[in-house]
Amino acid sequence: MIRGPQSFGMALGEFRRRRGVTQAELAKTSGLHRSYLSKLERGSATDAFRYLILASRALDLEIVVRPR
């Protein structure tokens, strides 16, 4: 369950690795800088939900918001 930036970042990195995609490859397909993706995966980029959406789409992931 995603509870915040850190858990989202961990999940993003896990899905990226499962697909055999490097941060550089993901950066190219998502239009994000590789260093920013690194910050996302560490959970330290908390101010840009738009970028989370871009990275998720590049990995063909869906972000689901649901009631608790």
The DSSP annotation for 4-43 comes to: SHHHHHHHHHHHHHHTT--HHHHHHHHT--HHHHHHHHHT
Could you name the CATH architecture of 5-58? Orthogonal Bundle (1.10)
Q: Compute the residue count for the chain.
A: 68
Question: CA-to-CA distance for 14 and 20, rounded, in angstroms?
Answer: 10
pTM of whole model > 0.85?
no
Structure confidence by residue, pLDDT tens digits, 18-64: 999 999 999 999 999 999 999 989 988 766 667 777 888 899 988 77
50 three-state secondary structure:
helix
Quick one: how far is CA 66 from the chain centroid? 19
Q: Is the pLDDT of residue 67 over 60?
A: no
pLDDT of res. 9: 85
Nearest alpha-carbon partner for 55 in 47, 67, 38:
38
pLDDT of res. 23: 97
Structure confidence by residue, pLDDT tens digits, 5-19: 787 888 889 989 999
